């Protein structure tokens, strides 16, 4: 089987929207920025109420800026809403995004602090922000985008939050066999105090890039009740990050191995790397086809200290039981920095190759330990989406 023969990315973004294409008047609004190309219908099983145009689903954040495809809001593009937000504000700015597929890259600059993206219906399938660039995609002015440049959404503004939204990179590997470097990021974060609550991240290689501004500048990210999919190193980076109560799906690639779920690249200056807790690691790949993680040592940081703890989670059979921790570019994984605790499922069988925390040590690997920092940040205690 051709290893690139897979369901096109666009078919996974919004199946309901694709089925409705003949009856929708779709038009790209604007150019060069994320704009809506259609409004999907809500899932029939989702009976959650719509929100008022000026409020989010929970009613606790007033919408300061509204994005709407039909022109009934303040702007038709997500980037346009970011541009309208005040720079350097100490107050939170809430951007309400009405249903639609918004095509084009979005950048939240370092001066755009305290922004919140809120999907108007609360269902992340209803609001999709997508683009289709890969590392090797040519730029109009010459050169290629690179991994960071491929990101659909780049977040550099501290305090960014998103709820009820899908972030996708729709780069179609099968349609571009001429492109060798296929890293295609859906979201790259490089800011502190970032929260994703009830969102979806869709991609293949390098879907979710959790970075920090510099090797000596910590950045914390909290992902809750969300969905992430991909195949190669699809959750990676040097940030301190917690993924809680989420579903992490490894996609079938029909290669050997199919891929790697995590590729932490923790700075040696940081106290913590990645923590995955109370989550489900699922797949449509064959048993044993995936490694749980491998350590990423970029050429700019060969002496970093990649760290990952997966605890209290369900692991499906796609994880290689005898060798879940892989090497990368000649670098071995470090048992003292990577471990598991109290996982379940067919992919969680304990072997000599799988370091386990004891109960006493595990008490130092809770959500609060990773996120509190010096300022007592505790997003896990806030209201749920």
Any idea which residues carry the catalytic annotation? 233
* Maximum Cα–Cα distance across the chain: 60
Neighbours of 1 (CB within 10 A): 8
SS3 310: strand
Residue among 261, 323, 337 at smallest CA distance from 292 = 261
Instruction: Report whether 37 contacts 26 (CB < 8 A).
Output: yes
Adjacency order of strands within the sheet including 247-250: 35-36, 100-103, 127-131, 166-169, 200-202, 227-230, 247-250, 280-283, 314-315
Distance of CA 128 to the CA centre of its chain: 13
**Encoded tokens for 248:** 């992490």
**Encoded tokens for 226:** 């969300």
Strands 240-244 and 274-277: parallel
Residue with tokens 């990423």, as numbered in its chain: 296
Neighbours of 350 (CB within 10 A): 11
Buried b (16+ CB within 10 A) or exposed e, 307-327: bbbbbebbbbbbbbbeebbbe
Element (H, E) at 210: strand 208-210
């Amino acid at each position: 089987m051709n290893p690139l023969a897979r369901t096109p990315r666009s078919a996974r973004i919004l199946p309901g929207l694709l089925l409705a294409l003949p009856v929708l008047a779709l038009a790209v609004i604007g150019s060069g920025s994320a704009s809506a190309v259609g409004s999907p219908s809500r899932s029939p099983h989702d009976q959650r109420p719509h929100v008022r145009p000026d409020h989010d689903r929970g009613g606790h954040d007033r919408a300061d800026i509204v994005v709407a495809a039909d022109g009934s809001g303040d702007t038709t593009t997500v980037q346009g809403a970011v541009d309208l937000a005040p720079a350097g504000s100490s107050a939170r700015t809430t951007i309400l995004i009405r249903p639609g597929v918004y095509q084009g890259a979005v950048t939240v600059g370092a001066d755009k602090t305290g922004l919140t993206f809120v999907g108007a219906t609360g269902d992340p399938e209803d609001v999709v922000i997508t683009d289709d660039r890969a590392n090797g995609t040519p730029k109009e002015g010459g050169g290629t985008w690179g991994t960071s440049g491929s990101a659909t959404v780049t977040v550099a503004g501290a305090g960014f939050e998103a709820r009820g939204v899908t972030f996708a990179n729709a780069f179609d590997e099968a349609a571009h066999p001429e492109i060798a470097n296929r890293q295609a990021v859906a979201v790259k974060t490089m800011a502190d105090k970032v929260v994703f609550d009830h969102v979806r991240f869709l991609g293949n290689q390098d879907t979710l890039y959790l970075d920090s501004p510099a090797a000596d500048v910590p950045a914390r990210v909290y992902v809750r009740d969300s969905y992430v999919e991909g195949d190669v190193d699809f959750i990676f980076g040097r940030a301190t990050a917690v993924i809680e109560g989420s579903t992490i799906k490894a996609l079938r690639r029909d290669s050997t191995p199919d891929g790697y779920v995590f590729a932490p690249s923790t700075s040696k200056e940081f106290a913590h790397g990645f923590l995955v807790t109370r989550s489900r690691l699922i797949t449509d790949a064959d048993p044993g086809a995936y490694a749980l993680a491998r350590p990423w040592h970029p050429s700019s940081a060969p002496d970093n200290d990649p760290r990952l703890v997966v605890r209290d989670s369900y692991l499906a059979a796609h994880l290689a039981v005898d060798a879940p921790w892989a090497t990368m570019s000649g670098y071995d994984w470090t048992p003292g920095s990577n471990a598991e605790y109290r996982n379940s499922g067919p992919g969680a069988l304990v072997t000599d190759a799988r370091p386990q925390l004891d109960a006493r040590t595990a008490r130092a690997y809770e959500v609060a330990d990773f996120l509190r920092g010096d300022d007592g940040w505790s997003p896990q205690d806030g209201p749920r989406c």
